[in-house]
Structure 1
């Protein structure tokens, strides 16, 4: 099933303004948070631009999960999957077999917090290291542990003190092309944290595999970018450009091109604006159509899972510029959380219908495999 976007509701930055250097956002004050409408989008398409990938027929890989939040692939093509509320780490094979590797100690799951992001060391064959982002009793934190067969080692804290809350904990982690770990954090409904460079909340962080501020960071701290409300999706294209999904409040969800040291405006701006202090998004949606979480790059497009929007969004890219998004599977699977590209080039997508905001269906939650043609 495929539904097309609506040109009247999608807000796209005109192609001439999209790229490595973005227009600024507007500062209207934390109490008003208005966004200026950018130039009109081109008409919505029924299909991607020529040469772009098209999703094939989805299939259920695994069913009966409990809020599967993140997926990361091991060198043998098996995947590690986190369950937010149970704090269990699972291993799932490409043919759908699963093994419970155990509950991660120290997780204090409540609200949107729990066992969230997972990343596999680029040198896993040698060091057997797995990285996790979790909510503890006092904070959100980055930990790492060893995985030897089915045996998990004790978690070692690497970065602590990230603010925690019932909502807006961020949680996505990923190794970038530079070998550093990128961490998305939320402002936990304390909006002022996003504009406080001394806070780790409302940021994208960049740290070494040992959890220290990475060389070249703009402020000598773990902070890479700031002014974020709640980021749950990170991805890089083939040229190494970094993108992130971001939850808006009442009006506009965003996809941003992430650049070193930039301020993305929250809470002073939601969506597009004109204040040069802030970096504009690549595109926005009404929150009813998106609430975007997981993000992947595959075959020339970004792919974003929509929670409230209950659909998979394809955003075709060319040289860092976006064209009109296309919506697939609208309402077919409910809330979509993680979206990752498998080693075989398919998309693995998780549902999040048991997260307290969805309506569970028979077999939920599940991992869906979507081939790309």
Structure 2
């Protein structure tokens, strides 16, 4: 098997696994307990919090552990709305049209409750304009949310530029950085964001773990209540092993980030070049400008991507037709539709995403498999 869907999830790294193992059976104490056995777990949780804070340029007190990116996104959106409603204020939110479903579906749910939402258009390359953000603001705007990089096409958004445009307006700014953290440098101070969300399994940590950053002074009400964990911000017994793995995985990812980014950009460049030599008509969605390393989204005219994914699977190649959250739905990508592609073109999108274990030989095999599968489908 050749795994080329790292944007969907990654394998737990050996280093993260080794760090977490003792907290499954040996040091299994509850991190909220007052006795020394529990304090061992608490010490490990706080060490991981320091690791995360260091990795994203925050203070440890600004990091809250969650069960993943979707929970973090819901915490921010719903928390901002709850605060406004408690103050009996109307709520308007600004988001981009290419956000992850955990943002867009939450916004639709909030709209049914009376929240007003403005959805920002994007360019053909899948980029949000800071001008469009400012143009969408109103006196009752309580939050702007623009992802740091898109999970389907890999386009990096001008988040720092948007934050600068928002400066002095008193409007909180959130960015979904799930696809970015651990892969390209992230510094919350330089970005200028109020909130940032991330997920452990995207950077070789465990599934079911994540964190969000909330700037000091911008605290939110808890999404999950019933306990005093995470300083009262997220009830539930801490997943010590998962948190430890997350901290170690992020530290490891940051250590090899620069070299790995160069290598992955090279693999993607070669992949696109070689596919184009055989299939010159392909589209590369979001091509040009800032882009995540290791991820490319192509369109093959006349070839439905779901069929291509299944054919490649038979050859032992794992790629995707959309984000993992929408896989198997047989609907056009909302991201590509927002970028101006037709429904037919959006159904032809194939996402290839390489990772730490991907070799040059793997990339060559992916190219041959894609070209061969397309030729076979066209012959049929």
TM-score, normalising length: structure 1: 0.27
TM-score, normalising length: structure 2: 0.26
Larger radius of gyration: 2
Greater relative contact order (Cα 8 A, min sep 6): structure 1 or 2? 2
Richer in strand (by share) = 1
